[in-house]
């Protein structure tokens, strides 16, 4: 990406997701950004990086000093990006360069870093406000005498569902004038030498109503969402990232490999380049970006999601009106069967879905293991095990633990392959069945991850009661779900997805607690992680 494109297309977003640059990559980009200001050798600054739980600590610190009515919102703001980079201004007291010039050099470096992040596929937002004034933040971040915070940079990958429209070029003609020595004052024009130079450029015309223009751009972007979905899904269906591999190919080579029209594919590749999935390496030649790696057929974590989003899910969403009128699954209305029943008839759908669940669990696993004290030994049943990623993760975490991966016949093969490849076949039993009928008995811990939100209250209670019937007096149930807290738009879309696909719904932690109570459980512990994931431990009531 050239400098002009980077400047024209970069903008700050409100929310960012993984991935974010690791420390090594960020440091390398920072080394490049430092060369932009003339006083780059001074380096009157330092950076403090916060990830994971450290972001929440900063949020709590700011919340304690802020408006009591907005404490939760203040804490949530610090979790809107996977990486927070705090810029500390540390001017050199013995320098011949004035402090204001050192400050300008620091800001120039920071702005260059944001452009470099954008050119590498990352997003960033420079936030000032309370973090620059907080005494508590100074203590938490161990600032020295004379140092001050210039802002917190929120860094990650822009959430495509929340992206703001690109800015239009700004008319700055009225801010530019040409200097010329004034003519001596005469009676004819009545101006004196003190009147100063006249603007040499035409005044800026009155702009169109800004709000209407902004709203129309944003709405059109939303209405074009279906096009982006199919552009990405077609890349997965045609296996474009796999054909490109680790190298580069011409449009003609890709056309031959994919069986597509060469002229049409060239136009398509230009669209993928604008979406950030491929980048040009020469005349008519392209290679994968890091984002495209997620669409690789064998290793890409979002390959299955792309196939479903552009296929079965896409068709289901076209029946949203039905779901809104009836409160039932649009997927079933469109396809004449539930997604679960479709697994048994279409192996590709089952494989795509379990791949998506594997990617989701891989993203959550470290946080889950950090939030709950899983047993060192005993027997765990993973109810609705899917790909078996959670099962394998627990067996790796606790070498003396044994597990049962339980799921329907069309899916259990994926779990078997996972635990076998990971070397846990001797400690894991694979059991086929439906949790709507029963679950294996006699375990110490029963896991339900991302299961209950797929179902309406009646079916959710049926699943929970089946778990209760299988549990002993000392057994525990661990419910793992995402609640409706956190990013409000993401939570709303996820909730609507549950309605469209399953006729289910996302719930608050309290609502999950109510379901557990109705099913005969007593909640013993509830914890919500920094990402919004919620764990509720429950025991069967006598």
SS (H, E, C) 448-470: EECCHHHCCHHHHHHHHHHHHHH
- Residue 282, classified by CB atoms within 10 Å of its CB into exposed (0-12), middle (13-18) or buried (19+), is exposed
Q: Are strands 16-17 and 148-158 parallel, antiparallel or unpaired?
A: antiparallel
Q: Which residues contact 328 (CB under 8 A, 6 or more apart)?
A: 322, 503
Q: Which of 335, 387, 414, 453 is catalytic?
A: 453
Q: Which residues contact 31 (CB under 8 A, 6 or more apart)?
A: none
**Distance of alpha carbon 256 from alpha carbon 262, whole angstroms:** 8
**Distance of alpha carbon 190 from alpha carbon 488, whole angstroms:** 62
Query: Which phi and psi angles does 380 have, rounded to 5°?
Result: -115, 135
**Distance of alpha carbon 93 from alpha carbon 102, whole angstroms:** 10
Which of 46, 293, 268, 36 minimizes the C-alpha distance to 150?
46
Respond yes or no: is residue 453 known to be catalytic.
yes
Q: Are 384 and 391 in contact (CB under 8 A)?
A: no
Residues shown for the chain:
542
Q: How far is CA 176 from CA 108, 181, 199, 246, 486, in A?
A: 22, 16, 8, 48, 44
**Distance of alpha carbon 200 from alpha carbon 387, whole angstroms:** 69
Q: What is the DSSP string of 272-308?
A: HHHHTSEEEEETTEEEE-TTGGGG-TTT-TTHHHHHH
Count of alpha carbons within 13 Å of 539, Cβ hemisphere only? 9
So which residues are the catalytic ones? 453
């Amino acid at each position: 990406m050239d400098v002009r494109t980077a400047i024209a297309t970069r903008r700050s977003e409100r929310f960012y997701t993984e991935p974010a640059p690791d420390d090594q990559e960020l440091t390398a980009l920072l080394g490049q950004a430092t060369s932009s200001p003339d006083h780059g050798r001074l380096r009157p600054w330092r950076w403090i990086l916060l990830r994971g739980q450290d972001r929440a600590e900063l949020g709590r610190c700011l919340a304690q000093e802020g408006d009591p009515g907005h404490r939760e919102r203040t804490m949530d703001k610090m979790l809107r990006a996977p990486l927070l980079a705090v810029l500390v201004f540390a001017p050199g007291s013995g320098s011949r360069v004035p402090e204001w010039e050192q400050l300008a050099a620091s800001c120039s470096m920071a702005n260059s870093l944001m452009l470099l992040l954008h050119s590498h596929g990352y997003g960033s937002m420079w936030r000032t406000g309370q973090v620059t004034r907080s005494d508590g933040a100074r203590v938490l971040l161990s600032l020295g005498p004379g140092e001050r915070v210039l802002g917190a940079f929120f860094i990650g990958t822009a959430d495509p569902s929340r992206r703001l429209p690109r800015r239009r070029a700004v008319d700055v003609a009225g801010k530019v004038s040409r200097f010329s020595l004034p003519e001596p004052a005469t009676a004819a024009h009545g101006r004196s030498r003190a009147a100063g130079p006249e603007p040499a450029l035409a005044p800026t015309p009155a702009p169109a109503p800004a709000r209407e223009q902004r709203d129309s751009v944003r709405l059109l972007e939303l209405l074009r969402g279906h096009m982006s979905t199919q552009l990405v899904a077609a890349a997965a269906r045609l296996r474009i990232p796999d054909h490109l591999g680790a190298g580069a190919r011409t449009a003609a080579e890709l056309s031959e490999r994919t069986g597509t029209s060469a002229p049409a594919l060239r136009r398509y590749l230009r669209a993928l380049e604008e979406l950030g999935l491929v980048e040009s390496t020469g005349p008519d030649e392209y290679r994968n970006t890091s984002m495209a790696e997620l669409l690789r057929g064998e290793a890409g974590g979002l390959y299955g999601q792309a196939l479903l989003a552009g296929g079965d899910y896409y068709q289901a969403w076209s029946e949203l009106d039905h779901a809104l009128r009836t409160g039932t699954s649009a997927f079933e209305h469109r396809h004449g069967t539930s997604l679960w029943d479709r697994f048994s008839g279409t192996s590709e759908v089952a494989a795509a879905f379990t791949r998506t669940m594997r990617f989701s669990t891989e993203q959550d696993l470290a946080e889950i293991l950090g939030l709950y004290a899983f047993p060192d030994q005993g027997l765990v049943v993973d109810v609705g095990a899917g790909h078996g990623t959670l099962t394998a993760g627990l067996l790796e975490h606790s070498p003396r633990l044994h597990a049962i991966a339980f799921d329907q016949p069309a899916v259990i093969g994926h779990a078997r392959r996972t635990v076998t490849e990971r070397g846990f076949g001797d400690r894991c039993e694979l059991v086929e069945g439906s949790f709507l009928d029963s679950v294996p008995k006699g375990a110490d811990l029963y896991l339900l991850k991302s299961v209950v939100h797929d179902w309406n209250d009646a079916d959710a209670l049926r699943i929970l009661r089946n778990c209760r019937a299988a549990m002993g007096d000392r057994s525990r149930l661990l419910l793992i779900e995402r609640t409706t807290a956190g990013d409000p738009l993401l939570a709303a879309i996820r909730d609507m997805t549950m309605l469209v696909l399953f006729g289910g719904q996302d719930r608050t932690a309290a609502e999950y607690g109510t379901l557990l109570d109705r099913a005969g459980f007593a909640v013993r512990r509830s914890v919500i992680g920094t990402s919004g994931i919620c764990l509720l431990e429950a025991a069967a009531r006598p």
